Structure 1
Amino acid sequence: MSPTYPDPLNLPPHVLLTSTTVLGLGLYVSLFRTSPFKHLTGREVFVSAPSTGRIADTNALFGVVACALQLPYFLSSYMPIEENQWLHVTVPIRLFVTTALGVNVLLRGRRMSEEGFWEFLALGVTDFVGAVMLGWELGRFDGMVSGFE
């Protein structure tokens, strides 16, 4: 009797890479409540230093939310890419998030901390590139699955 394997992950490679990375970072932050990059850069990147219990709790919440946003990619990956509604709907959502981050940087840029400014900018650019790559691969940017509109 040969072993059975679970269905493959039907995700585009760039989505698999970013989702796995964000899921891992989210788990790290939710458990340790601090930036995983601190020992590499000497600075708190994407997560503020937990100077108070409240900030540490907020960091842990940030990690849990990051995991919650990435987990549906894996939970829906059994579907073929062309039928995966979650993949399709995330394209306009990610474009909206990119717009919100960009507007925030434009309106508050000079009043933001240097770290916050670069974090907003980096997340906005990364999400924009990810949305465009995914939309290009799916062949549409409106969030609809082809053939079901």
Structure 2
Amino acid sequence: VNLPPLVLVHSIFLSLVGLRMVFTNSAKSSPMAGITMLAIGIAYLSTSYMPIAQNQFLHASVPVRILLALVAGLKMVVDKNITQSARNEMLLVFLYDGIGGLVCGWQLENFSGKVPA
């Protein structure tokens, strides 16, 4: 498996939480969100056979995760009618993807989203 250690943990976490959300019958659990999380986790794992320097998905995920964090942060600032539950979800995305994107970019020594030439 050719993934930075924290990205490997991230991909396994996403896959397991996604599976849990798909198969849990709860008003708080969204099966569609679970499928999305599972798909992202599996995408990381299925591209892990490639050397890190050639893994375009891994490199592209850095600016995407940072952008998602910024969108979540903007939602919290701009939307004055956001519920506390939605605010907590946006805060989680802001912190998890923001820090995750920055750490992954730092580990790859590349924030451009492109594999090194």
- Which TM-score bucket, shorter chain as reference? over 0.9
Instruction: Give the aligned partner of residue 53 of structure 1.
Output: none
How far apart in 2 are the matches of 1:19 and 1:124?
Answer: 18
Tell me how far 1:28 sits from its aligned partner: 0.7
Instruction: Give the aligned partner of residue 48 of structure 2.
Output: 77
> Which of 21, 25, 30 is residue 17 of structure 2 equivalent to?
25
Tell me how far 1:33 sits from its aligned partner: 3.5
Secondary structure at 1:145's aligned position in 2? coil
> TM-score w.r.t. structure 2 length?
0.93
How far apart in 2 are the matches of 1:94 and 1:28?
Answer: 22
Instruction: Give the aligned partner of residue 118 of structure 1.
Output: 88
How far apart in 1 are the matches of 2:41 and 2:20?
Answer: 14
How far apart in 1 are the matches of 2:10 and 2:40?
Answer: 12
- Aligned identity (percent) is 31
The yes-or-no answer on 1:106 pairing with 2:98 is no
Structure 1 stretches of 4+ with a deviation exceeding 6 A read none
Instruction: Give the aligned partner of residue 64 of structure 2.
Output: 93
> Which of 12, 16, 26 is residue 4 of structure 2 equivalent to?
12
Residue ranges of structure 1 left out of the alignment (5+ in a row)? 1-8, 35-48, 51-55
How far apart in 2 are the matches of 1:73 and 1:93?
Answer: 14
Instruction: Give the aligned partner of residue 136 of structure 1.
Output: 106
RMSD between aligned alpha carbons? Answer: 1.3
> TM-score w.r.t. structure 1 length?
0.74
Please tell me whether Structure 1 or Structure 2 has the larger radius of gyration of its CA atoms.
Answer: 1
